[in-house]
Amino acid sequence: MMHDGATTRRPPTVSMSAFVRDQVLVYTKRMLAVTSTGGVYNSADVHRTIAPPSPLDARKAATRVVHALKLHPAVVSTGAKGHWCCKAATPSRSTSPKLLENTTGDAQIIDHWVEQYKAQFLPAILDITGAGGYVSIDTVRAHVAAMAPTAPVDDVFTAILASLGQDVRLQLQSANGKAPTAFVAAESGTPAPTADPVVAIAKQLASLVEPQILASVEMDKPYSTAALRVMLTPMASSAIPLDALVSAVVNHVRCNQELQFLGDADGNGFFVKPAPATGPTMHHAPQNVLPLTQPSPTAPLVTPTSVMIAPVKTAVPPSTPSRMLSPKKLAIATEVYVQAMLRWLNTHAEACGHAVVYGWRLSLPFSLPKDALKTHIIPAMVADPRLAHRPSYLACFCFGSRGASAVATVESVVAQITPFFVLGMLSTTKKGKAYTEADVLGQLRVPNGVDENAVLDRLYEAMKAERDVSVRIMANGRPAFDAKPHALLKKPSTPMTVKAPKTSVPATPSMTPTPTRPRADSIVSSTSATSTVSPPPYESFQDAFLADSAPVAGNVDNYVAYYADENLKEVLDTVKTGNAFYASSMRSWLKHLPDDIDTEAVIAGLVVLLRQHPCLAYDDDDASRSFFYLVGTAPPQGSPMPLSPVSAIESDDDLGDVFSDSNASENASFRSRTSSADVDDVSIPLLELQATIDHAPVVVVTSTDHLRQAVGSHALFSTPTVTGSVAIDVHGVLPNLLIQLAFEDTIFIIECTSIPAADVTKYLQPILMSHTVTKIVYDGYTVAEALTTIAGTIPVGVLDLQLLMELETSQITASFADFAERCQCPPHPHPRYLSRPRLLTQIPLSSEARDAAAATVRLLSQAAFAC
């Protein structure tokens, strides 16, 4: 298990800086409301009421908010002991001219602000006046107030007017003999009829935020104007409205050819990478392309879920065009989501937030890459003219109008925010963490005129109605939500200790009942394997238990219905490919089943329910290998397995108990009944290749049958008496163990979740105990326990490359990435899996995780030969 020592702590959903910026606006409003009536505002009010989302520290957040409040020009500190207090400042903040003349420090401050103003705003003023426009002195005052809120505004403003008046390129314009009101170009005396106070400052601000936007989109992260709005809020004033300022800055940034804006005319939307200029697309969808490895032209449309050959991504040379998801597929996906949104808006009176879109499970004729919904689909929906997109109550955006009326109400706010918070609560609590009121208050944005307490009460009522959570009151009187025991994602508390089986006869997984548990085949009827029943009169398996004729009774009913609904698609996908789905595979679904629930009873109930599906037929002629197959087709006939060296050992009584604990060291290797040429002729009907990396196929093994076939298909794997080498890496512990094996011509990714521990030991012990096969590892301490458990004793012939790295560099904790770089190996295509090895313990692995696992052992093998 290799890692770079980077932290694996999960970052908070909201950063401290973003949270403080939002709270400064909230508490500034409260402070001004108190001080404007002659009251005194105390910093204790901030510390008492602030509620940042976990894991942000409330005290640090409150301290930063108070520090920002102290700088506000409308208040002054008052003499109070303990906490900081403030009151309203005097209306006039002008300074006497005589005092200015006699005070050197104030004069230096004014000169500093004058120079800063000229450096920041004078180029924009010259651009405006040179084009025939003018800049009013009210605009200059607004600039000064935004630039130097703590300085003496009147004196700085007067000094700036005097300095600009001395510029030969400008002259003051007056109307009807009154005081000067604007600056114009020196050669022009005709002022423009109107003036835009945000034009000058918007150009300067656009040059500041444009590098941040470019950096964001270069990392494939769309830059939302919501983040820009938060950044520009301190610059807004009565003379410079926030909406106008944001729109003007967006218009300036949109001129950059490296950016594409997806949004409305008001500046609400996202900045993304520009779309390619080629390829026809639908008129309402952008021509964005997504990085995606395309399948082989000969690969079937639907692949078996039980075994996959995962392609491993490699670095593409600059001259080789990268493979992308076509604009046509992106347009199809966008259209599907737009139609779903239109249906949602037609059946709901409220707007649809982004959280609702993320919860949809829409059927597409192809698979979308990870994060495609966030980076491409939702920005395309924002640009679609059929949908309205506007700010929501959750510091993000929503589609559609907020309601029938323009006035927000408690009901309209609750209707929009409930799906978001319920989804976040369930996601947090099922991991064993509490979901508190602070998590709600940190993201909720209740509009003015709506009772926040009423919104919270209605929201908590909806959250309490969830059947998978329980509510409790904490010591501070605030509610907290926890997952009920059955909703927790349970993990094994201690690693499983695996011993080698006492006999060489393979233990076939079956549904053999115990005396106190009912047999699955005794509960179901004796219907013929080819016969089917009519579809049930309910839409889901959960509804079956609400009917009077529920097929299974007892406290396992809810678990049976839940697992049937969750895994029905897996069963159908398997049988549609012509393969059989064995009932014994259901045990992999129940790894998080509570201890007080009978596993055999749940499996029996699942068999009963699945037999009622109109597309499934059931074959129980062999009780130990009962399976489901597609209705209307012949039951798959399992062909006899080819005689491999492993099967020869199993059938040879003269070899003795080679896998027992007592003979583990004496029988480190075994006799082969076939030659290497014979092994090359062995076929693997259930394994198909989809992609290769450096001409080496990647085989993913997820069951005992596939492991037996994989061992029999590879000469070195099945005949460990041959000289050779294999790179090995492991992650996790049994039964959630991932084993990565890289031979010279094949890479095996073995996911042991559905493979009995005895079978893992049986098929991998020979190669681990072989004296002729060198096992290459990196950081042997991290893999020693798992390999010893599999082999039954200490493996032999292990080469730890980290020791070589320590010898050459004197670095005790040298990472694998450093070693691969030192050996001049290509970079890892997914380096985050090296710094976060726990991602490879979440079995079944995603396609990207399998790519990363295969790349790791491939680099390990390459580094061994390079050094």
Question: Taking residues 405-423, what's their average pLDDT?
Answer: 77
- Which range, of 216-220, 388-392, 796-800, 850-854, averages the lowest pLDDT? 388-392
Give the whole-angstrom CA distance, residue 752 versus residue 358: 31
pLDDT value, residue 791: 84
Contact (Cβ atoms closer than 8 angstroms) between residue 179 and residue 225: no
| Stretch 718-739: mean pLDDT | 84
pTM over 0.85: no
The answer, yes or no, to whether residue 576 has pLDDT greater than 80, is yes
Burial of 202 (0-12, 13-18, 19+ CB in 10 A): buried
pLDDT at 394: 65
Q: How is domain 16-88 classified at the CATH fold level? A: Arc Repressor Mutant, subunit A (1.10.10)
Q: What is the pLDDT of residue 504?
A: 38
Start-to-end CA distance of the chain, whole Å, equals 20
Q: Do the Cβ atoms of 152 and 136 come closer than 8 Å?
A: no
Pick one of 1.20.272, 1.20.1250, 1.10.10, 3.30.420 as the CATH number of 108-185.
1.10.10
The DSSP call for residue 639 is P
The Cβ of residue 10 has, within 10 Å, a number of other Cβ atoms equal to 8
| Beta bridge partners of residue 172, listed in sequence order | 183
List the one residue out of 26, 45, 27, 49 whose CA is nearest residue 476: 49
The CATH topology of domain 410-483 is: Arc Repressor Mutant, subunit A (1.10.10)
DSSP labels, 397-436:
EEES-S-SSSS--HHHHHHHHHHHHHHHHHHHHTTT--EE
Q: Does domain 691-866 have CATH number 3.20.20.80?
A: no
Q: What is the CATH number of domain 556-630?
A: 1.10.10
Sign of CA dihedral 51, 54, 59, 60: negative
Q: What is the pLDDT of residue 633?
A: 86
In angstroms, rounded to a whole number, what is the distance separating the alpha carbons of residues 404 and 535?
41
Q: How confident is the model at residue 392 (pLDDT cuts 50, 70, 90)?
A: low
Q: How confident is the model at residue 449 (pLDDT cuts 50, 70, 90)?
A: confident
Q: pLDDT tens-digit profile of 749-802? A: 999 888 888 888 888 888 888 888 888 998 888 888 888 888 888 888 888 888
Model pLDDT, residue 396 = 61
What is the average pLDDT across 288-308?
34
Return the amino acid letter for 325: L
pLDDT > 90 in the chain, percent? 1
Q: Each residue of 347-381: pLDDT tens digit?
A: 776 678 777 787 787 878 788 887 788 888 888 88
CA distance linking residue 498 with residue 770, whole number of Å: 20
Using pLDDT thresholds of 50, 70 and 90, give the confidence band for residue 12.
Answer: low
Q: What is the mean pLDDT of the chain?
A: 70
CATH number of 197-272, picked from 3.40.50, 1.20.120, 1.10.10, 3.40.30 = 1.10.10
Which long-range contacts does 19-24 make (Cβ < 8 Å, 24+ apart)? 19/52, 19/53, 19/56, 19/61, 19/442, 20/61, 20/64, 20/65, 20/68, 21/230, 21/233, 22/230, 22/395, 23/50, 23/61, 23/65, 24/65, 24/68, 24/69
Mean pLDDT score, 797-808:
83
Lowest mean pLDDT among 43-57, 469-483, 495-509, 778-792: 495-509
Q: Is pLDDT above 70 for 169? A: yes
Q: Return left, alpha or beta for 5; rule: phi > 0 is left, psi -120 to 50 is alpha, else beta.
A: left
Pairing state between β 692-693 and 627-630: unpaired
